[in-house]
Chains A and B, each alone.
Chain A
Amino acid sequence: MHDLLTGTFFWIALGICLTGMLVRFVLYFKGLSWQLDRVAYRAHPKAGLKGAVRSIYKWLIPFGTRGWQTQPFITLAFFGFHLGAVFVPLFLMGHVFFVEEKLGISLFTLSAAAGDVLSWTALAAGSLLLIRRLVLPEVRILTTWKDIMILGLSMAPFATGLLARYQVGDYGFWLNMHILCGEVLLVAIPFTKLSHVFLFFASRAQLGMDFGIKRGGMKGTKMAW
């Protein structure tokens, strides 16, 4: 079972995820139309690039934009969750060894303690996001069962990973569950709202170009759109 999960399944999941992301990324930019979107993307590449980069950069920094500043609670929960969601899968020691063995790429590794902190933070922040979703009327009205599933799916690898880490019950079982959850997640990325892991950059870049080229960027306005 373990071999299958770390072997064939891993390759399939990774393949689907990477191909899917690549295809959708390319399709997104191919689908942008200067006339339909009313943004002269090609005519002003410099202004567009500046706008796109600023737009992405500012939103990646906690409290980097007015949006983050005005809503500190969600900002903390959001970054708490996403820091773990980005760093732990990529840089946790176990993951790095695994990737090195499979792909021959050696990455920077997090200390075990850092991995623990990030994982626990992610779980806690994810729970807060879930509670917020259920409690605040303005978020509840938007929430569908899919949103909850996805949040659960994103938190599952952390939960199973930690269970395995602290060897609660059967270590082998939790490890397999952990790997399985991770792979399901990988497969889900291109096909669900999880696509935001890469389309975030696409969409932000588009709005950055929009403002950078058409809506003030070329008038010298500098702001995080």
Chain B
Amino acid sequence: MPEGIYCNKQTVDTPEGVNKLLSDTSGNTYYQEMEVLDVDTDLLWKTIQNTCKSRIRTWLEICAHCGMCADSCFLYEVNGKNPKQVPAYKIQSTLGEIIKRKGKVDNALMRHAMRVAWAECSCCNRCGMYCPHGIDTGIMFGYLRGLLYNQGFVPWELKIGAGMHRAYRAQMDVTDEDFVDTFEWMVEEYEDDYPGLTVPVDKQGADIMYTVNAREVKHYPEDLAEAAILFHLAGESWTVPSKGWEQTSLAMFAGDWAACKMQVESVYEAMERLTPKRMVGTECGHAHRATVIEGPYWAGRKDGQPPAPSIHYVEWLAEALNTGRLRVDPSKRIKELVTLQDSCNYIRNHGLKRATRDIMSHIVEPGFFIEMAPNKEHNYCCGGGGGFNGIGKFRKERNIALIKKRDQILETGAKLVIAPCHNCWDAIRDLEEEYEIGIRWSFLKPLLIKMLVIPDHLKPEE
């Protein structure tokens, strides 16, 4: 059988298509079909010839096989230093092999490559900083994911995720109406506590256009209310777009570059329509990477920048705290040992380490903030990045991957972990569920709300 009913080379573009794929419980049939899925070797080789140019080819070629990348990879370390987990080996035995054979590879190699690309690399890009030749294996795995997606060799949940973006321009089945409704509903719920709280939808020329993660709308709408409250207390002129509000991109994890383009263009269109001074995204790492760092290239923007200057939530928060627009009541600062998770996607890959530490200095009583070791750009992935968290097939591998973060947290002695990233937050929650080390974890927004000084004119009447 060349193509399966569920597992095939077709993209999923409609709600019906997504539902059909979802109806295959846990992707059981999907993965069965994958075992006999044909490889279109001509297409594979043609794609490689068109897209694999000097950077990646040179990387593959000049890799001195020195093995210095081994220790940089947390998956190598938590898997008992298995030599098969050395980044250079992982990429040479997959992408390297495909190119060496000029794309003439069989189904087994493609499935092997899929396992390596999604269960043995979270695209955290840490190894890239430890290679004398500047070889970034994470980038190559990103590229390999694209090739695999193109051929239908992609984990079930990510095929669904990419399909969601194609069908809904969101990572979940949340429509534009759902988004606006939910946001308004949440603001209604909190307006008694914060008089004057509103959610300005589609306001032209606001200082800030706020974009979110569809998961907040679907499962944690309090997060929307909290964002509204913090903008309100800081006196910001802000807005949310009724279309183009989803900042995340599971398509990026899937390697579905066309869907990435569609998704990010919907956000850029909102920027162009509403002409905000800046865009602020929610506390999500990959969303920031997709919309702010990689997005401009998918959308073909030559300057590598989004249409409006775009910052991560931690940058906005640090700025609001540093300038005094938000003030923390010193008596309400965190007075227990607390540590901070550096998200690869905006710390290592966008240099925002200072912003998060500024925030810590405002919200944590001096002496109670404990850094993980290593930290900042050298911090390890939470264990669930790059799509790892969501893939049922690789749950076991993901749970092993959490060990590095578990040990890092245990070493700090902190019982509270601040994780301003949805993926990290999820991974750390799962880590507690799996290993029960007695920690709590939190985004920044709920912590801030409890400790801010509310200006008199914004207080509710008693």
| Chain A residues at the B interface, C-beta cutoff of 8 Å | 27-40, 42-44, 55, 59, 65-67, 70-71, 74, 78, 133, 136-144, 147, 193, 195-196, 199-200, 202-204, 206-208, 210, 213-217, 219-221, 223, 225
Determine which of B83, B136, B297, B349 lies in contact with A140 in the assembled complex, contact meaning CB atoms within 8 Å: B83
Given contacts A142-B88, A215-B293, contact A39 B304 (CB under 8 A): yes
Give every chain B residue within 8 A of A195 (Cβ-Cβ).
61-62
Kindly provide the distance from the CB of B237 to the nearest chain A CB, expressed in whole angstroms: 24
Given contacts A31-B55, A199-B62, A200-B62, contact A216 B351 (CB under 8 A): yes
Given contacts A40-B303, A141-B89, A200-B133, contact A71 B54 (CB under 8 A): no
Kindly provide the distance from the CB of B79 to the nearest chain A CB, expressed in whole angstroms: 12
Contact between chains at B83 and A219 (CB < 8 Å): no
Determine which of A43, A59, A142 lies in contact with B67 in the assembled complex, contact meaning CB atoms within 8 Å: A142
Contact between chains at B62 and A139 (CB < 8 Å): no
Kindly provide the distance from the CB of B121 to the nearest chain A CB, expressed in whole angstroms: 16
Kindly provide the distance from the CB of B318 to the nearest chain A CB, expressed in whole angstroms: 12
Kindly provide the distance from the CB of A60 to the nearest chain B CB, expressed in whole angstroms: 10
Contact between chains at A207 and B136 (CB < 8 Å): yes
Contact between chains at A225 and B294 (CB < 8 Å): no
Given contacts A39-B304, A193-B61, A214-B304, contact A70 B130 (CB under 8 A): yes
Determine which of B51, B129, B297, B353 lies in contact with A66 in the assembled complex, contact meaning CB atoms within 8 Å: B129
B residues 369-388 in Cβ contact with A at 8 Å: 377-378
Kindly provide the distance from the CB of B64 to the nearest chain A CB, expressed in whole angstroms: 6
Q: How far is the CA of A74 from the CA of B69 in the complex (A)?
A: 12
Determine which of A28, A141, A225 lies in contact with B128 in the assembled complex, contact meaning CB atoms within 8 Å: A225
Contact between chains at B66 and A139 (CB < 8 Å): yes
Determine which of B68, B304, B354, B377 lies in contact with A67 in the assembled complex, contact meaning CB atoms within 8 Å: B68
Given contacts A28-B54, A33-B53, A36-B51, contact A71 B71 (CB under 8 A): yes
Q: Is B450 an interface residue (CB 8 A)?
A: no
**Nearest residue in A to B57 (C-beta to C-beta)?**
A31
Give every chain A residue within 8 A of B352 (Cβ-Cβ).
216, 219
5 additional contacts (CB under 8 A) given A39-B304, A141-B86, A220-B351:
A31-B53, A67-B68, A67-B72, A193-B63, A202-B58
Give every chain A residue within 8 A of B101 (Cβ-Cβ).
none
Q: How far is the CA of A28 from the CA of B354 in the complex (A)?
A: 35
Give every chain A residue within 8 A of B58 (Cβ-Cβ).
28, 199, 202-203
Determine which of A37, A38, A140, A196 lies in contact with B133 in the assembled complex, contact meaning CB atoms within 8 Å: A196
Q: Is B59 an interface residue (CB 8 A)?
A: yes
Contact between chains at A40 and B302 (CB < 8 Å): yes
Q: Is B135 an interface residue (CB 8 A)?
A: yes
Q: How far is the CA of A116 from the CA of B372 in the complex (A)?
A: 46
Determine which of B59, B86, B298, B354 lies in contact with A203 in the assembled complex, contact meaning CB atoms within 8 Å: B59
Contact between chains at B134 and A55 (CB < 8 Å): yes
Give every chain A residue within 8 A of B134 (Cβ-Cβ).
55, 59, 203-204, 206-208, 225
Give 10 nearest A-B pairs by CB, closest first.
A216-B351, A31-B54, A221-B351, A40-B304, A207-B134, A139-B67, A142-B65, A38-B297, A141-B83, A138-B70
Could you show 9 A-B contacts with beta carbons less than 8 Å apart? A40-B304, A55-B134, A67-B129, A142-B66, A203-B59, A204-B134, A207-B135, A220-B351, A220-B354
Contact between chains at B55 and A32 (CB < 8 Å): yes
Most B Cβ at <10 Å: residue of A138, A139, A143, A215: A138
Kindly provide the distance from the CB of B425 to the nearest chain A CB, expressed in whole angstroms: 22
Question: B292-321, CB under 8 A of A: which get 1 and which 0?
Answer: 011011101011110000000000000000
**Nearest residue in A to B93 (C-beta to C-beta)?**
A141
Contact between chains at B350 and A215 (CB < 8 Å): yes
Kindly provide the distance from the CB of A1 to the nearest chain B CB, expressed in whole angstroms: 34
Q: How far is the CA of A215 from the CA of B352 in the complex (A)?
A: 10
Contact between chains at A67 and B131 (CB < 8 Å): yes
Kindly provide the distance from the CB of A51 to the nearest chain B CB, expressed in whole angstroms: 11
Kindly provide the distance from the CB of B417 to the nearest chain A CB, expressed in whole angstroms: 23
Give every chain B residue within 8 A of A199 (Cβ-Cβ).
58, 61-62, 133
Q: How far is the CA of A208 from the CA of B62 in the complex (A)?
A: 17
**Nearest residue in A to B73 (C-beta to C-beta)?**
A138
Contact between chains at A38 and B294 (CB < 8 Å): yes
Given contacts A214-B293, A215-B293, contact A207 B128 (CB under 8 A): yes
Q: How far is the CA of A29 from the CA of B54 in the complex (A)?
A: 8
Given contacts A203-B134, A225-B128, contact A138 B83 (CB under 8 A): yes
Give every chain B residue within 8 A of A219 (Cβ-Cβ).
350-352
Give every chain B residue within 8 A of A36 (Cβ-Cβ).
51, 53, 55
Q: Is B330 an interface residue (CB 8 A)?
A: no
Q: Is B92 an interface residue (CB 8 A)?
A: yes
Kindly provide the distance from the CB of A171 to the nearest chain B CB, expressed in whole angstroms: 34
B residues 40-90 in Cβ contact with A at 8 Å: 51, 53-55, 57-59, 61-68, 70-72, 76, 81, 83-84, 86, 88-89
Kindly provide the distance from the CB of A96 to the nearest chain B CB, expressed in whole angstroms: 29
